[in-house]
């Protein structure tokens, strides 16, 4: 039996992960009423390993240090390690929801199946048959949960999994493992698998730059943030970074890893100094791209053939915004066309929070992003000229947030930007709307 509920006085926030929590907190801080719809039975999004959509494995730690990771208005505990484990982050997100009294505004067990415009409102339908009418929608369901799989000629008879389904290396004991993809997850899994597997290989389409988590005893991301905030020419930044990496990690080819086919910063660097170590010790073999699958064997583009028991596809995720017709966000090249990765160009009451990948702390980035969204909504309610100007600009302007970096042509680059350039754009809008 279907039920209809009229909630036209408030916004729907879809998802109670890091982005949805920040959106709800900032909307309410601006006096914009909202309700959060969460499919799972608790907050945290992918950081809750009990969530079926979680891509977090048993030994996951943040790849950003805690000072870069935390929301600006709730610091992580001082007694936590520099790079906290997943359970500490989940506790932190729960504390954030409690600190800002968000829990009474969250409806759990509400899987959104359809989001459709109806005049100046939006109808949001959930899997239990309920239809709710809202004044607007903020989609905050994340973009690291819908696996992307490559396609190859032939077939494989062994076990396959996506990195989202990986838990611990104990599952690989005595097996021959091939990890496909050399992003942060792929490199982590290859290193962990080397502890238990009979053999481990990693298939890499291209070479990458590897960054340690510490430089001269300081978290590497804090060192990087300090240098990039100086707004130095990108060429100079690259030269400095190259010297630092040469002194701390060395060149990838020195370990037997492929030479990167791009300049530093044109693809997110891999925050992992252990993979080069394991490759250098022969514990992880490096292979090029897969050419064809042959039963229990894998043929690579260089002619090598490996016998394999398990293939782990660490090949990233595709952007999914469930229930919303793609026409409402003018999708192109596998992603929605949004103003500053957040504002619908067609609708003044439709937003996406957290579609960000700027090689920095996600929580503070989405906090600033949703502050701008909340200020815009509140400004429109007041008839603000600044909000009207932003509504005009977002329809067809495309601010350059590359920071002078030409990102490589890769699915990983679809949501990529130079972090400080992006944050400056958001702060400029926040100042205008304030």
pLDDT in tens, 117-169: 999 999 999 999 999 999 999 999 988 889 999 999 999 999 999 999 999 99
For position 153, what pLDDT does the model report?
97
* Residue 298: strand pairing partners: 293, 306
Where helices occur in 140-228 by DSSP H, the ranges are: 184-193, 220-228
Instruction: Return the percent helix, strand and coil in the chain, to nearest 5.
Output: 30, 25, 45
Cα 88 from Cα 82, distance rounded (Å): 12
What percent of the chain has pLDDT above 70? 97
For position 229, what pLDDT does the model report?
63
For position 381, what pLDDT does the model report?
97
For position 224, what pLDDT does the model report?
72
Parts of the chain with a pLDDT under 50: none
Which of these, 117, 140, 128, lies nearest to 354 by C-alpha position? 140
Q: pTM for this structure?
A: 0.95
Cα 380 from Cα 390, distance rounded (Å): 10
> Look-up: residue for tokens 């982590």?
188
Domains and CATH numbers, the chain: 3-146+317-433 (3.50.50.60), 153-212+249-313 (3.50.50.60)
For position 56, what pLDDT does the model report?
96
* Cβ proximity of 349 and 137 under 8 Å: yes
DSSP state of 317: B
For position 357, what pLDDT does the model report?
78
Give the tens place of pLDDT for each residue, 327-363.
999 898 888 999 999 999 999 999 999 998 767 899 9
For position 237, what pLDDT does the model report?
86
* Cβ proximity of 48 and 185 under 8 Å: no
């Amino acid at each position: 039996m279907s039920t209809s509920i009229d909630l036209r006085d408030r916004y729907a926030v879809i998802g109670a992960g890091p982005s949805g929590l920040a959106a709800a907190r900032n909307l309410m801080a601006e006096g914009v009423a909202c309700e959060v719809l969460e499919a799972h039975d608790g907050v945290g999004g992918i950081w809750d390993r009990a969530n079926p959509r979680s891509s977090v494995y048993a030994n996951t730690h943040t790849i950003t240090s805690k000072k870069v990771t935390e929301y600006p208005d709730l610091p992580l505990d001082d007694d936590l390690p520099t790079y906290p484990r997943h359970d500490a982050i989940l506790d932190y997100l729960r504390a954030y929801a409690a600190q800002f009294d968000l829990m009474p505004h969250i409806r759990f067990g509400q899987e959104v199946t359809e989001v459709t415009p109806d005049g100046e409102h939006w109808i949001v339908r959930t899997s239990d048959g309920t239809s709710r009418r809202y004044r607007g929608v903020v989609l905050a369901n994340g973009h690291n949960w819908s696996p992307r799989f490559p396609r190859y000629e032939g077939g494989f008879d062994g076990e396959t999994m996506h990195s989202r389904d990986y838990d611990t290396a104990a599952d690989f004991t005595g097996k021959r493992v091939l990890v496909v993809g050399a992003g942060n997850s792929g490199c982590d899994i290859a290193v962990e698998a080397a502890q238990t597997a009979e053999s481990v290989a990693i298939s890499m389409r291209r070479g990458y730059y590897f960054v340690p988590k510490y430089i001269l005893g300081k978290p590497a991301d804090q060192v990087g943030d300090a240098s990039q905030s100086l707004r130095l020419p990108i060429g100079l930044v690259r030269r400095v970074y190259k010297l630092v990496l040469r002194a701390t990690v060395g060149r990838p080819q020195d370990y037997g890893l492929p030479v990167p086919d791009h300049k530093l910063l044109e693809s997110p660097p891999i925050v992992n100094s252990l993979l080069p170590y394991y490759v250098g010790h022969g514990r992880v073999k490096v292979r090029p791209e897969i050419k064809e699958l042959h039963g229990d064997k894998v043929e690579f583009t260089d002619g090598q053939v490996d016998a394999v028991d398990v293939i782990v596809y660490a090949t990233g995720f595709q952007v999914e915004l469930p229930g919303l017709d793609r026409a409402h966000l003018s999708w192109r090249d596998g992603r929605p066309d949004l103003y500053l990765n957040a504002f619908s160009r067609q609708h003044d009451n439709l937003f996406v929070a957290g579609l960000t990948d700027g090689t920095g702390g996600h929580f503070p980035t989405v906090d600033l992003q949703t502050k701008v969204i909340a200020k815009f909504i509140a400004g429109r309610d007041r008839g603000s000229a600044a909000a009207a100007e932003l509504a005009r600009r977002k329809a067809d302007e495309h601010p350059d947030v590359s920071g002078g970096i030409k990102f490589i042509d890769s699915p990983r680059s679809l949501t990529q930007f130079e972090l400080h350039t992006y944050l400056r754009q958001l702060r400029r809008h926040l100042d205008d709307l304030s």
